[in-house]
A and B are shown apart, each in its own frame.
Chain A
């Protein structure tokens, strides 16, 4: 229309110039009148388009009637589809949360962190690429200021430490806080944390200042304004609260409060110069428009110019977007997510939705028999194929819409369960945007059209004459498609079930795995390095030992499952006796540690009171550490000299490897250093008691006598150790639940199909019965069709699931082997569930009176 108007205007202007306005006006009108031609005004092809509205109304009415008439089918359809959609949305909520980690940062794409490599000098200098998993995030303090000075591209550098534990007091409130970090004052310019009170630029600048999270501030101050208040730390230090902040849910490391780095500097200025002292995480942001290219290229030079110690050290960088899901580096500041779990969940979500859609298609197609007459009559009266297709699509979309409404209800209910299962707060407010509402409408349309398209096209293709004469059968093509869809469904179900079985077995394997020590029945009292307790630790130990239920008592820096540092350690090499330096993990323990945790020695001896020199010149290590230093046979390392953190002497014993980190990983090299009292932080008691409640209260009585100033804070080691498997367990639970849902949905579909196929064969069954066939034979005959399909599905599913689960298991250092029994279980369960599902209908069909089947012709 517009171009024509343009032409008219152009001509008009010209004519105004040439012939004057009046004539131009006249010509203009004439031109317009001449434009009233049928071709130009409106395409006229068929009159039915004009009656769209009435027809749509009719589709709608017929759809509603149909849905109401076939209540079972509609129920199965809507049920399956809504369960599928709800699971899909729930998984989406979870996956979205996992993917959203750290994205709240305004400088998300511009923030990086330094990862560090500690090792021997040769491997750093060789220039060969160092393995990614040997880098660690946790490292020294001096690299940060040096880095900022060296590279002008760097805008802000932010360091924080691992969690520290403090006894915090305010008025009469006294709690042990275990997750307070020391942090640089640049915290709020690198991370976009909201300060609810206080000044972000100065909050952490001064020594003896803390910023609390909202939760912690409320715990101590309630309704009071916390800013400017003073908290008593460890009974002697007064720290002023200079800020209250909100920590987002999707942050890859968590804390309850930040203490200014200057405070730490006053305590131990030396470590801020030491490249070997490891306790810091370093993050930095770039200047605007700056890139990492030059920084990466000049890293070697930077390390060379700034690092002067004699061990091997180098650094690399990771973008913030890698931190939660992609980083392979060790010693992360918080729990990391698993990318493969996300993939698995996403595929499960797609599987469920697929299964639900297939159900929908199968059920609707199957119902075609009932609808055939309707279709035929509509066609005879003059309905076009297009109209029929839209009729069925409207019906499908209507059902999908119903399912979606139900699904949103299910999501609302399921959301809290999902939060409980995943142990995370999963925000869903991001779902309620106009864009998403539109997306949901589009999704409903698409699912409705996809699920409804096949039946729509098949049904509308019927030849009315054939149908009305009664000689009607669904096309062989339709049967073939339906069969392959069922095979596909079976395949997905079996894959999910194999997955669930493998996950389940692997997790129970981990639970029952021989850890190399016995975490059961060990009570741990945590006194957070309290000096008064440390001074009396020997007395306290002997007092506890007097209690009749206490088997043994040990004081140490940490227990298995706790946080532990690494230590640069040198051990004489087997050939020349020169000290070779490595960086194994370190435990600081006393002579009672090994018996208390029921660990066992493979060579040499444990620390002993009989050897006075043990406290200063002896060392224990584990088998892996012996291997690390080049001694495959643990006996041979006994008596070799060592040097560690300024202590020299000989290795006196090798302890059997025990799992102190996680069964995801092989046991890593560990040294057990004899602990002086001032390095102890926990007391572990092996207890043998009939009545734990009583024992515990009696032990508390002893503690209150010995250390009245410090609260009696206990935990059981197994609880502590099990925490490490929480993520795995949660994964297992979520996976199992959604797999069962998927199988449930698939069963709904199978049930519907059975109804259909038995209905089709009513007469056949009747005749068979009249001729003397038994009920069992009929049931097995009806089931056999599906069992054949099941067989095909099995052939597809087994290799697929084997492949998938094998790669999942590879994440574990200690894993089960997937025997044939896993597949047998999965196949058997699927078969059993489907047979039971089908039997609801087949048995009834087999038992029915043949007269009923044969009477109506």
Chain B
């Protein structure tokens, strides 16, 4: 049974929100992901991920700073909830346990199977 469900992109978003700490809102998250991972993130994809995470109670949000440059629209800041933190830790631990379970030879380059022979 899956205790916490966190997709790959969702995990990236969670981690980015955590990195940005108190400065995590739409544009900053988008840029951070684009900078760090070098991949393009559309506003739509990001927003739907944020919405899903919020629905799962992994993220909490509040609106503030309605500035001129944003045409008077507030920024919606995201924060990781304690449930969200647990989910992230859970994901990290399952990854780690999987890494740990890999026999050291399997990643040894010398024995690596070369497919494109």
Contact = CB atoms under 8 A, between A and B. Distances in A.
Given A3-B26, A3-B74, A8 B52 contact: no
B27 A34 contact: no
A31 B51 contact: no
Where chain B touches its partner, the secondary structure class is helix
Contact of B43 (A2, A4, A39): A4
Interface string A419-439: 000000000000000000000
A634 B47 CA distance: 98
Interface stretch (B8-16, B63-71, B92-100, B102-110): B63-71
B48 A4 contact: no
Interface residues of A, number: 20
Interface in B30-55: 30, 42-45, 47-48, 51-52, 55
Contact of B48 (A2, A10, A39): A39
A9 B43 contact: no
Contacts of A3: 25-26, 63, 73-76
A11 B29 CA distance: 12
B74 A6 contact: yes
A8 B69 CA distance: 11
Contacts of B70: 5-7, 9-10
Contact of A6 (B44, B48, B52, B71): B71
Contacts of B48: 37, 39-40
B34 to A, nearest CB: 11
Contacts of A5: 70-71, 73
B27 to A, nearest CB: 5
B71 A9 contact: yes
Contact of B44 (A2, A10, A13, A35): A35
B60 to A, nearest CB: 14
B44 A34 contact: yes
Contacts of A30: 42
Contacts of B52: 39
B97 to A, nearest CB: 31
A48 interface: no
Contacts of A576: none
A10 B63 CA distance: 15
B27 A2 contact: no
Contacts of B27: 7, 10-11
Nearest to A3: B76
A36 B45 CA distance: 10
B71 A36 contact: no
A17 to B, nearest CB: 11
Interface residues of B, number: 22
A32 to B, nearest CB: 8
A13 B63 CA distance: 21
A506 B74 CA distance: 69
Contacts of A39: 48, 51-52, 55
Contacts of B47: 4, 35, 37, 40
Contacts of A6: 26, 66, 70-71, 73-76
A580 B43 CA distance: 96
A9 B44 contact: no
A29 to B, nearest CB: 12
Interface string A18-56: 000000000000110111110110000000000000000
Contacts of A9: 69-71, 73
A39 to B, nearest CB: 5
Contacts of A10: 27, 69-70
A743 B78 CA distance: 59
Nearest to A12: B71
A11 to B, nearest CB: 6
B44 A40 contact: yes
A35 B47 CA distance: 8
A37 B27 CA distance: 18
Interface string B71-84: 10111100000000
B42 A40 contact: no
Contacts of B45: 34
A31 B45 CA distance: 9
Contacts of B43: 4, 7-8, 11, 31, 34-35
B44 A31 contact: yes
Contacts of B74: 2-3, 6
A30 to B, nearest CB: 8
A35 B25 CA distance: 16
A6 B77 CA distance: 12
A812 B49 CA distance: 75
A41 to B, nearest CB: 10
A767 B45 CA distance: 74
Contacts of A4: 26, 43, 47, 76
Nearest to B26: A7
B42 A34 contact: yes
A34 B47 CA distance: 10
Contacts of A34: 42-45
Contacts of B76: 3-4, 6
Nearest to B44: A34
Contacts of B42: 30-31, 34
Contacts of A36: 44
A10 B29 CA distance: 13
A4 B73 CA distance: 8
A6 B47 CA distance: 12
Nearest to B62: A3
A427 to B, nearest CB: 47
Nearest to A11: B27
A52 B63 CA distance: 31
A7 B25 contact: yes
A401 to B, nearest CB: 38
Contacts of B44: 31, 33-37, 40
Nearest to B76: A3
Nearest to B71: A9
A5 B27 CA distance: 11
A35 B71 CA distance: 19
A776 B30 CA distance: 86
B115 to A, nearest CB: 36
A13 B52 CA distance: 28
A2 B73 contact: yes
A40 B47 CA distance: 7
Nearest to A5: B73
Contacts of B66: 6
Contact of B63 (A2, A31, A35, A37): A2
A31 B66 CA distance: 21
Contacts of A7: 25-27, 30, 43, 70, 75
A632 to B, nearest CB: 79
B110 to A, nearest CB: 46
A2 B70 CA distance: 10
Contacts of B73: 2-3, 5-6, 9
Nearest to B61: A3
Name which of B42, B52, B70 has the most chain A CB atoms within 10 A of its CB.
Answer: B70
Contacts of A2: 63, 73-74
A35 B51 CA distance: 12
Contacts of A11: 27, 30, 43
A7 B75 CA distance: 7
A625 to B, nearest CB: 76
Given A4-B26, A6-B66, A31-B43, 15 more contacts: A3-B63, A3-B73, A5-B73, A6-B75, A7-B25, A7-B26, A7-B70, A7-B75, A9-B73, A11-B30, A13-B69, A31-B44, A34-B45, A37-B48, A40-B48
9 tightest Cβ-Cβ pairs between the two chains A and B: A6-B73, A34-B44, A3-B76, A7-B26, A6-B70, A35-B44, A31-B43, A34-B42, A37-B48
21 contacts: A2-B74, A3-B25, A3-B73, A3-B74, A4-B47, A6-B73, A6-B75, A6-B76, A7-B25, A7-B43, A7-B70, A9-B71, A10-B27, A10-B69, A10-B70, A11-B30, A33-B44, A34-B42, A34-B43, A35-B44, A40-B44
Interface of B: 25-27, 30, 42-45, 47-48, 51-52, 55, 63, 66, 69-71, 73-76
Interface of A: 2-11, 13, 30-31, 33-37, 39-40
